Structure 1
Amino acid sequence: MTFSETLLEEGEHVWEAQKAHPFVRELAAGTLDEAAFEHWVKQDYRYLLDYARLFAIAGTKARDEETMTHLLGVAHQVLDHEMGLHREFAADYGISRAELESVEKAPTCVAYTNFLLRTAYEGSIAEIAAALYPCMQGYYDVASHMADLADEGHRYTPFIEMYTSEEFREATEWCRAFVDRCGERYPGEHDAMREAFLTSAKLEYRFWEMAYTLEGWGL
């Protein structure tokens, strides 16, 4: 069993909780409240800025040229492509780019991005690999689950298509292989990698909950 498979086995309960979450089930059915999806778009836009930073910092810690090149390339792709798709989603709901950029992070978004950036600055390359993995693998698996649940096309179909695309599948496979390489090269880091992976996975679940409940600061 590869190390990424070991991590996924340990996080299986989190994956199942994500797939069962009402945000996921209702999005798949096309019945999700627009306000919840708008909240997700806004918060995920802010999240992606820091996710891109995570890849960029990881690139500076990579010891081989190929990995460094790929990680920095992913940072650029997130900023150039994925955030562009979020701006398109937002435009469909009348949300401008300026509004996206000025959105205040909800508590869960703060917790998740702060965890990722702390791991990026203070952790090893192996910890970073484990911390970034749940987002990639989680979105691919959850979106694939949504595709299985969806009976027909609806307003949220582009979301499902984005995260089940061949391009995203290939990005997820690279990320999984990156985790496996780190697991092989740094066996002494396994406990730290496991903790980073499970923390990110749990925060992925909380992100769906944040969007569904329109979480804010209440102030």
Structure 2
Amino acid sequence: MTLFERLKTHAASQWADYTRHAFVDQLGKGDLPIECFKHYLVQDYLFLIQFARAYALGVYKSPTLADMRHSLEGVKAILDVELELHIEICGRWGMERQEIENAPEDTPTMAYTRFVLDAGMSGDLLDLQAALAPCILGYAEIGKRLQQDGSDNPDNPYQRWIQEYAGEGYQDLAKGFEAWFEATSDLVLTDHRYPRVLSLFEKACRLESDFWQMGLDAKA
């Protein structure tokens, strides 16, 4: 059992609450209110800016050049691909980049991003990876599942989002991260340390659920 599989098993309820959240379910069915998705997407753009900083922190925390390159690939994927996806979709509603970047951060956005950055600042590379893992690997799992369910059909207004995270590029990125996470754990993880890694993973899952809920609450 890999570390990721072990963490998902021990944090099964938190993982299910996150990856099977009502926001995800409605997005897959295509009946998520558009205002909910728009609010989520803008906040996710702001989240990804801080997430890129967390990956950049991974460069600093990396003990080897290979680790540094893994961190750099994460930064590039966010800056060159994910952020541009958000701009593309938001552009359909006439929203410009400057408008999105100047939007105020919602409380769940601040809570999640600062948690990830603090995990990296106060810990080592494994701690940072544990805090990053639910987002990176969870989106891959969600995207793949929704595609397999047929949710990425042309009638779904969120088809583009689903296809991005179900696509080969993101799936390969997630697989690379999982292998990197496992390699780090092989070097530094001990039985004594595992509870801290699990706690970071669980908290990140809870914050992901809060992020989805923030989107749903936008319809009120």
Instruction: Determine if the TM-score, normalized by the shorter chain, exceeds 0.5.
Output: yes
Question: 1:93 offset after TM fit, Å?
Answer: 1.6
The residue identity in structure 2 corresponding to 1:31 is D
5 Å-filtered alignment, 1:17-36, equals 17-36=17-36
1:197 aligns to 2:205 (yes or no): no
Aligned partners of 1:147 and 1:21: how far apart in 2? 16
Shift of 1:11: 2.2
* Count of aligned pairs between the two proteins: 216
| TM superposition shift of 1:33 | 0.6
> Counterparts of 2:67 and 2:157 in 1: how far apart (Å)?
37
Contact 1:42/1:103 (<8 A) preserved: yes
When the two chains are superposed, the root-mean-square deviation of aligned CA atoms in Å is 1.7
Equivalent residue number for residue 170 of structure 1: 172
Partner of 1:207: 211
Contact 1:59 1:67 in 2 (8 A): yes
Greater CA drift, 111-120 or 178-187 = 178-187
**Structure-1 separation of matches of 2:119 and 2:70:** 19
Which residue does the alignment assign to 1:142? 142
Write the letter of the residue equivalent to 2:113: T
Instruction: Give distance in 1, aligned partners of 2:64 and 2:212.
Output: 35
Aligned to 2:5: 5
Give 1:179's match in structure 2, choosing from 178, 181, 192. 181
- Relative to structure 1, is the Cα distance of residues 127 and 158 closer, same or farther in structure 2, using a 3 angstrom cutoff? same
Q: Are the equivalent residues in 2 in contact too, given 1:19–1:25 (CA < 8 A)? A: no
Is 1:129 aligned to residue 129 of structure 2? yes
Distance 1:18 1:145, change over 3 A: farther
Give TM-score, length-normalised by structure 1.
0.93
How far does residue 40 in structure 1 lie from its aligned partner after superposition? 0.8
Q: Distance in 2 between matches of 1:23 and 1:9?
A: 23
Q: Which residue of 1 aligns with 2:52?
A: 52
Superposed displacement of residue 115, structure 1? 0.2
Is the Cα–Cα contact under 8 Å of residues 147 and 162 in structure 2 kept in the other structure? yes
Determine the C-alpha separation between the residues in 2 that align with 1:19 and 1:81.
22
Shift >6 Å, 4+ stretches: none
Asked if 1 retains the 8 angstrom alpha-carbon contact of 2:17 and 2:209, the reply is yes
Of stretches 148-157 and 170-179 in structure 1, the one that deviates more from structure 2 is: 148-157
CA contact (8 A) 2:70 2:180 kept: no
C-alpha contact (below 8 Å) 2:18/2:206 kept by paired residues: no
- How many percent identity over aligned positions? 27
Letter aligned with residue 201 of structure 1: C
Question: SS of the counterpart of 1:192?
Answer: helix
Instruction: Please tell me whether residue 69 in structure 1 is matched to residue 69 in structure 2.
Output: yes
Q: Which consecutive residues of structure 1, in runs of 5 or more, have no partner in the other structure?
A: none
Contact 1:27 1:146 in 2 (8 A): no
Q: TM-score, normalised by structure 2?
A: 0.92
2:43 maps to amino acid: Q
Task: Deviation per CA, 1:101-157: give whole Å up to 9, x if none.
Answer: 111111111100110111121111110011111001111111222223445322210
Taking the aligned partners of 1:137 and 1:98, their CA distance within structure 2 comes to: 29
Q: Could you tell me which amino acid in structure 2 is paired with residue 38 of structure 1?
A: K
* AA in 2 matched with 1:160: I
